[in-house]
Amino acid sequence: MALFTFNDDSYTLGNIREVDTRKVTILVNSDKDLRKARVGQLVTVQLSGATECWLIGMIDKVIKAVVTQPLTQEIAEDDFDEIDAFEDSVVNTVKITLMGAARWDAIVQKYKFSRSLDHVPEIDSTCYVLKDAHLEEFMRVISECGDGEHSLELGSYKLNEKARAYVDGNKLFQRHAALLGSTGSGKSWTVASILERSSQLPSSNLVVFDLHGEYKELSYAKQLRVPGPDEVDADDDSLLFLPYWLLNSEEIQSLFVDRSEFSAHNQVVVVQDAITENKKAFLEENGRNDLLKSFTLDSPIPFSIEDVVEKLRFLNEDHRVPRADGKGDKSGPFNGEFSRLLVRIRSRLSDRRYGFLFKSPQKFNQYGSLSMIAEKLMGFGNQKQSIKVIDFSEVPADILPVIIGLVARIIYQVQFWTDPNSRRPVAFVCDEAHLYLPRKEGNPVERRAVEAFEKIAKEGRKYGVALMIVSQRPSDVSATILSQCNNIISLRLTNADDQATVRKLLPESLESLLEALPIMDVGEAMVVGDSVLLPSRIKIDPPAEKPLSATIDFWSRWQEDATNADFALAVENMRRQNRTKP
């Protein structure tokens, strides 16, 4: 049976006059037919000799050109200067990009759409515009092509709002995804909509890195929060303490060691030796001699930071060694070299903003506490809340990349060492990714986070760890991480650099789609990638539970009568680094 039946000329656009792989040029016979063409509109060509195969294309450009031609094929050389020897004619052309083919599947007895193209159309084949009932029929084919069991409903197609738009949930996370858009374009709503759909599955597993507390009121998510300065002694299950001994050697160095110092190398070596000795002593004290041969400097084993500081102080101040001539002793080789290092470490340890690292409750400094933290980050608990939102809003900005990278690394490593038969795939939703995954790492703190996420971007899919990068400045996000995202959900982007970044991520054949990026409405997205059959503009469904990301209406608020805010409370909150009332 034929998918389309064009009974009259109202659907006819023209005939093919040029074919170049996926690019096709249509010769349009009249201005009336040319007015049927709209940039972004779908067209179709029936493949010659295959009554059950229709090639689908998208209009890239509509051209009405005036061409000057000679009146006859052969004109004497002396007649070239004669005006009457030439005439002007109008040539109407439409350029399209082939997007795929709709073929009849005899096994399931219905049409299926595929982006693969086994054949290209022949010259002079007739091209038809898809509109009205034909467009609805094709969009129905697109909607039905997705495996209903694995389909994630995003919204409706802009081409035909009666047709629902789906993406393949498996491929969306298997191949990583990037959700991009300027401020106010609807990113947070899109994230909340995807989370809401995911929460309806029995055991979905997503971890949201929430930097501004936008998703802290989602009822279907398990809310976790890195504690603030005045909560180091709190006994709240929603608080996520991350004890310092979870940091690997590179992360510890980024926090304490200044690489520009002359003695930086010595500082690194001594700190590493002191940490290794303390971890070894901890294993011996707890009867875990079986791990002494396999543990390393980066093994997540508790140790005493105070003992490390004391060793550094001893080497810096009190260490004495015999003189070469045997007459008494002298200051050790590291005397005075660690003074600045000790000041930096003590400053960190005494700063209550870092209490979640250095002042965590005793239960987080025991041998089995890492499994407790992993259970909090990756388990499902009694409430079956499979989505975890981690609020990092109270983490100091100077160490934010390290802390987010630490959480991601813990989850990835636990997932890596979990029995493959019992692994539950997990996806990271990296909100405001440009803040901690920058293209140009300006300092060691940022470099540590980028390295952790780059490893996940390259290897995570093998172990069931996926990334969804969310950013308003894709041009500022690590190019290595973005290049691994094979699914792009792009809302409105107005910055030329950001548009260029997205353009580099897509095949050249789809560049014309990106011309609409700066003019799309709020909540509209261009969806391209492995998870969607047809690259399309989609109107994203708003979530039932809205994130706390609404833009303030300045002019409307300024029209209201107002009283002074409680500035004393605001100042106290600033001092306490906490917005709740004291």
pLDDT tens for 132-148 read 888 888 888 887 766 55
Residue bearing tokens 């070239």: 80
pLDDT of residue 429: 96
Amino acid at 526: M
pLDDT of residue 211: 92
Mean pLDDT of 390-408: 92
Mean pLDDT of 512-521: 79
Rounded Cα–Cα distance for residues 269 and 279 (Å): 16
Q: Read off the pLDDT band of 430 (50, 70, 90).
A: very high
Mean pLDDT of 548-576: 77
Residue 436's closest CA among 192, 210, 182, 256? Answer: 210
pLDDT of residue 194: 95
- Measured on CA atoms in the order 395, 400, 404, 405, is the torsion positive or negative? negative
Q: Read off the pLDDT band of 579 (50, 70, 90).
A: low
Q: Are residues 175 and 462 in contact, defined by beta-carbon separation less than 8 angstroms?
A: no
What string of DSSP letters covers 201-230? STT--EEEEESSSTTTT-TTEEEEE---GG
Angle at 403 between CA 580 and CA 443, to 5 degrees: 115
Mean pLDDT of 375-390: 78
pLDDT of residue 384: 58
pLDDT by residue (tens digit) across 67-79?
776 666 555 555 5
Residue 302's closest CA among 376, 243, 227? Answer: 243
pTM: 0.84
Judged against a pLDDT cut of 80, whether residue 474 lies above it is answered with yes
Residue 385's closest CA among 154, 207, 543? Answer: 207
What 8-state DSSP symbol labels residue 473? -
Judged against a pLDDT cut of 60, whether residue 212 lies above it is answered with yes
Work out the percent of the chain whose per-residue pLDDT is above 70.
91
CATH level 2 (architecture), domain 168-234+382-551: 3-Layer(aba) Sandwich (3.40)
Q: Both tokens of residue 205?
A: 């597993």
Work out the percent of the chain whose per-residue pLDDT is above 90.
37
pLDDT of residue 237: 84
Length of the chain, please? 582
Task: Work out the end-to-end distance of the chain between its first and last CA atoms, rounded to an integer number of angstroms.
Answer: 72
**CATH 3.40.50.300 occupies which residues in the chain?**
168-234+382-551
pLDDT by residue (tens digit) across 357-371?
998 888 888 888 899
